[in-house]
Amino acid sequence: MHIVVCVKQVPDTKIIKINPKTNTLDRRSAPAILNPYDAHAVQEAVKIKKMLGKGTISVLSMGPPQATAVIKKSIEIGADRGFLISDRAFAGADTLATSYALSKALERISKENPVDLIICGKHAIDGDTGQVGPGIARRLDIPPVTNVIEVSELNESESTVLLKRKITSGYELILAQVPCLLTVEKEINSIEYSPMPNMIKAARYEPVIWSVNDLEDVDRTQLGLKGSPTIVGKMFTPPKPEGGKRLEGNADDQVKQLMELLSDKKELFAAQ
Ligand SMILES: Cc1cc2nc3c(=O)[nH]c(=O)nc-3n(C[C@H](O)[C@H](O)[C@H](O)COP(=O)(O)OP(=O)(O)OC[C@H]3O[C@@H](n4cnc5c(N)ncnc54)[C@H](O)[C@@H]3O)c2cc1C
Q: Give the atom of ligand 1 at the shortest distance from the alpha carbon of 126.
A: 25
Q: Which residue numbers in the chain have pLDDT < 70?
A: 22-24, 269-272
Task: Residue count of the chain, please give it.
Answer: 272
- Taking the complete model, does pTM exceed 0.85, yes or no? yes
pLDDT digits (tens, 9 = 90+) for 245-267: 889 999 999 999 999 988 888 77
Please tell me the residue having the least CA distance from ligand 1 atom 8. Answer: 92
pLDDT digits (tens, 9 = 90+) for 108-161: 999 999 999 999 999 999 989 999 999 999 999 999 999 999 999 899 899 999
Q: Is 40 in the pocket of ligand 1 (CB under 6 A)?
A: no
User: How far, in Å, from the CA of 2 to the mean position of ligand 1?
Assistant: 24
**CATH topology classification for 2-222:** Rossmann fold (3.40.50)
Q: Is 144 in the pocket of ligand 1 (CB under 6 A)?
A: no
User: How far, in Å, from the CA of 94 to the mean position of ligand 1?
Assistant: 6
Using alpha carbons, list the distances in angstroms from residue 22 to 19, 31, 77, 147, 237: 6, 20, 37, 34, 11
141 φ/ψ sector (left φ>0, alpha ψ -120 to 50, else beta): left
Distance CA 158, CA 272 (A): 52
Q: Is the peptide bond before 238 cis (omega within 30 degrees of 0)?
A: no
